[in-house]
Amino acid sequence: MNEIIKLEKIEKHFGNVYANKDINLTIMRGDVHSIVGENGAGKSTLMNILYGMVSPDAGNIYYEGKKIEIKSPHDAIALGIGMVHQHFMLVPSFTVMENIVLGLPPRGEKIWRPERFRSEITAIMNDFGLQVDLDTRIENLSVGMKQRVEILKILYRGARVIILDEPTAILTPQETQELFSTIRLLIRNDHTVIFISHKLREVMEISDKISALRDGVLIDTVKREDVSAKDVAYMMIGRELEPLQRTGMDGEKEICLQVADLKAGDTTHAAIENISFCLHKGEILGVAGVEGNGQSTLVDTIVGALGTDSGNIVFDGEDITDCSIGERMEKGIGHIPEDRMTEGLALPLSAEKNLILGIQRKEPIRKKGRINWKEAERISEELIQAFSVKIKSRKESVANLSGGNMQKIVVARELNREPKLVIACQPTRGVDIGSSKYIRECLLEVKKKGGSVLLVSADLDEIQELSDRIIVMYDGRISGILEAQEATEVKLGELMFGRG
């Protein structure tokens, strides 16, 4: 085995903040080398440097022993370095084949004849077990298939080193296993894989080597055999992580939310149909499923952002099907939206203003028709303290905060209203491990106090860790409701695909 890529003293800073500091990293040919670290640890910056999207301030890159400069992704591809981004770079209405050959030199022809490429692509598909129907349009493919197309795309361009940026974040457990077998085939065919992730279980399963980054510094590179998952977690966050304390449900089973035969959907919402379930007081109900199977539609109908076609929603004994968003909030529904940047926060406004949003029209914030800023200060300072939000002052605009701290502001605001029902959508997406754990604890706290949580998440670990019962959605319908004990990963995965 020999080294294929060597990074030497790589340094990159944005403003006064070091994204990467004095990073030395060697990648060996034929390895699956995982790069782990929390958000903001510098993983993406490092990979973007390697892929030519960001230029380093200092340091050298060697490829097969030769010192090189990578100025653009084009250079990287020419060297044989390919990257599969978290967001797919595919044209939805084009076929798989069209996407694979898009942008390649037309080989002297002006007329589009993708057929010429078919045999070459088929050969690659067979070599790596990446079967995809070349004539299907991308928009009709599942996420896992789209990822395959991305991998095919870079393989077709001759990539020998493949960077996968958080590839499993959007996959079902089965799809993850398929990806892993692809990775193993790649390695067998003398390719090298750089695997970026923060899912310890997966990292431990697939890696040969593991490098951990924290605050822009490379903490260590270790061989997988030599360490345990706990050690890797320690490398990533610099301290031990206690497991969550979960409590079971109490004996009483009063209903908090009842959804009956719900049907909804419009141009921007995937259609849902035949949705019936109930959520008890003191219960966390998980909603699992591959994204885009109607979860957001369901959430929007419950919070009141989308009307229903038929069916009704009963909250705390009251039919709220025709209530406005404001009325529902008033009755005690809290909402942690999926996208904190656009739905959760008013980005340019200060943390203080964001924290009092929703209660600004009520005592004690409202005083003689005006806002009582003293009270706003008290409440916001209290919440910033309680949720240990890292912020310079309450007056700072939330746009400057990291994802984890932004999310804490959303959670703090919603829980401060002491809702009877919290609808939490992807509450820890893109949030670092420490804050994730804190947010999850908050949700468990809601439950302990007798509140209910509807937890919609693409992260199966999170769903399994928190939920008392789990609903799985597939193609706009509920494909199964499971008790937490019986919800194995395999069972969930099957339901997520509509089988089972």
Partner 1 sequence: MTQLIISMIRCATPILLAALGGIICERVGVFNIALEGMMLFGAFFAIYGSYLSGSAWVGALVAMAVCGAVGFIFVELVENLGAEPTITGIGINTLALGMTTYLMKMVFGEGGSISANDRIAGFERVEIPLVKQIPFLGEIFSGYTPLVYITFILVPVLAFWLYRTHMGINLRAVGEEVHAAQAAGLNVNRFRVLGVMGAGMLCGLAGAHLSLGYVTLFSENMTNGRGFFAYVAVVFGKADPVSVMIAALVFGLADTLSTKVQGNGIPSSLVLMLPYVVTILALMVRSTVAKGEKKHFHINLTKEAKE
Structure tokens at 305: 């952002």
d(CA 373, CA 371): 6
Residues between 270 and 309 with contacts to partner 1, criterion CB under 8 A: 271
To 5 degrees, how large is the angle CA 489–CA 492–CA 495? 150
Build a one-symbol-per-residue string for 374-403: x at contacts with partner 1 by CB under 8 A, - elsewhere: ------------------------------
91 binds partner 1 (CB under 8 A): yes
- Cβ proximity to partner 1: between 119 and 267 the closer is 267
Return the residue of 55, 71, 92, 126 that touches partner 1, per CB under 8 A.
92
- Cβ proximity to partner 1: between 85 and 366 the closer is 85
Q: By CB under 8 A, which span of 95-103, 250-258, 304-312, 365-373 interacts with partner 1?
A: 95-103
Nearest to 404 by CA among 440, 356, 443, 455: 440
Q: Phi, psi (5° rounding) for residue 324?
A: -80, 170
Build a one-symbol-per-residue string for 129-168: x at contacts with partner 1 by CB under 8 A, - elsewhere: ----------x-----------------------------
Beta bridge partners of 82: 162
Build a one-symbol-per-residue string for 51-80: x at contacts with partner 1 by CB under 8 A, - elsewhere: ----------------------xx------
Residues between 423 and 452 with contacts to partner 1, criterion CB under 8 A: none
Residue 120: CB partners within 8 Å, gap ≥ 6?
156
Residue 57: CB partners within 8 Å, gap ≥ 6?
11, 12, 13
Structure tokens at 208: 């040969």
Answer yes or no: are the C-beta atoms of 339 and 425 closer than 8 Å. no
Return the residue of 6, 13, 21, 85 that touches partner 1, per CB under 8 A.
85
Question: Is the peptide bond prior to 364 cis by the omega test (within 30 degrees of 0)?
Answer: yes
Residue 88: CB partners within 8 Å, gap ≥ 6?
146, 147, 149, 150
CB of 426 to partner 1, least distance (A): 18
110 binds partner 1 (CB under 8 A): yes
16 binds partner 1 (CB under 8 A): no
Structure tokens at 292: 């885009």
Residue found under tokens 């695909």 = 497
Q: By CB under 8 A, which span of 23-31, 87-95, 376-384, 409-417 interacts with partner 1?
A: 87-95
CB of 145 to partner 1, least distance (A): 16
Residues that bind partner 1 (CB under 8 A): 73-74, 85, 87-94, 98-99, 102-104, 106, 109-112, 139, 265-267, 271, 342
